[in-house]
């Protein structure tokens, strides 16, 4: 069982906005602004989409945005596209001096 | 551009050992911390270990502490992971990943991974 809780799956239609949640504790998500989000296609390596809760790396579409409230971080994809269909993982630094990942959310674009 | 290329995976019997390597290029390797992260077949990501830029400090997940050792050779731009006392639940794709700084932050860039299968 992963330390950070993510819903197993979400679905949306093209053009919609969709939000993923990542729930931890005050020892990880709630205690630090070191939450990142990753996109992973089957058989490929993860790709960084958001770092430090809200920041987008160069080359990532501005349709992706991040936020945090208390112990829950969120990733929002606006203007959903078919190519967004993938697995999404959150990750956070922890007070134990380790990293944690969520169990991942499978996004289906219907 | 940043490139991370893992090697050394394969099939090993329970209790056996393996050493993974990660060749880094496209950035100044000696100025960044580095991670190993693994992913069991059909499962999520699990952080394994981190090493500071100069190799001075190492950090491990509880699941591998005492069995795995992370190390680096900065002159060769290479990261290593020594896997000992392997168990079937260590079966996974092992990814080498670059930290954004030297602070044990969620990784920035990832390699394509190398598959380790622990089976008799």
Q: What is the pLDDT of residues A1-38, one digit of tens each?
A: 668 999 999 999 999 999 999 999 999 999 999 999 99
Helix, strand counts (H, E) of chain A: 0, 9
Q: How far is CA B62 from CA A67, A91, B46, B48, B72, in A?
A: 29, 17, 11, 9, 21
Q: What is the pLDDT of residue A13?
A: 96
User: Which residues of B are less than 8 Å from A99 in CB distance?
Assistant: 35, 47, 50, 104-106
E strand or H helix at A21: strand A18-23
Residue A1: per-residue pLDDT: 60
Residue B24 has pLDDT above 80, yes or no: yes
Phi, psi of B88 (to 5 degrees): -55, -35
B107 and chain A in contact, CB less than 8 A = yes
The mean per-residue pLDDT over the stretch B36-52 comes to: 97
DSSP assignment, residue A57? P
C-alpha to C-alpha distances, B63 to A19, A56, A92, A98, B66, nearest whole angstrom:
31, 31, 18, 12, 9
A85 CB contacts (<8 Å, ≥6 apart)? A107, A108, A109
Question: Which of A44, A46, A57 is the closest to B45 by Cβ?
Answer: A46
Band (B102; pLDDT cuts 50, 70, 90):
confident
A93 touches chain B (CB under 8 A): yes
Inform me whether the pLDDT recorded for A108 exceeds 70.
Answer: yes
Average pLDDT, chain A: 96
Question: In chain B, where do the E strands start and end?
Answer: 3-7, 10-12, 18-25, 34-39, 45-51, 58-60, 68-73, 78-83, 92-98, 109-110, 114-118
- The residues, any chain, with a CB within 8 Å of residue A59's CB and separated by 6 or more, are none
Q: Do B105 and A34 touch (CB under 8 A)?
A: yes
> What's the whole-number average pLDDT of chain B?
97
């Amino acid at each position: 069982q992963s330390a950070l809780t993510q819903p197993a799956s979400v679905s949306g239609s093209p053009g919609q906005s969709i939000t993923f949640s990542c729930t931890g504790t005050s020892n990880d998500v709630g205690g630090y602004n070191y939450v990142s989000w990753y996109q992973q296609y089957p058989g490929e390596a993860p790709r960084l989409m958001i770092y430090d809760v809200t920041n987008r790396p160069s080359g990532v579409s501005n349709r992706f945005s991040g936020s945090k409230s208390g112990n829950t971080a969120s990733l929002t994809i606006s203007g959903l596209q078919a190519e967004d269909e993938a697995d999404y993982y959150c990750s956070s630094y922890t007070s134990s001096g380790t990293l944690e990942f969520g169990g991942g959310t499978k996004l289906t674009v219907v | 551009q940043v490139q991370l290329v893992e090697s050394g995976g394969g099939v090993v019997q329970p209790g056996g050992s393996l050493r993974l390597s990660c060749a880094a290029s496209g950035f100044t390797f000696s100025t960044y911390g580095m991670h190993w992260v693994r992913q069991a077949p059909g499962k999520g990501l699990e952080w394994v270990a981190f090493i500071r830029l100069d190799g001075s400090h190492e950090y491990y997940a509880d699941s591998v502490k005492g069995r795995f050792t992370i190390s680096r050779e900065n002159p060769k731009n290479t990261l290593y992971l020594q896997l000992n006392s392997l168990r079937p639940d260590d079966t996974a794709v092992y990814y080498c990943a670059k930290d954004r700084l030297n602070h044990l932050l969620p990784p920035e860039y990832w390699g394509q991974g190398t598959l380790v299968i622990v089976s008799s």
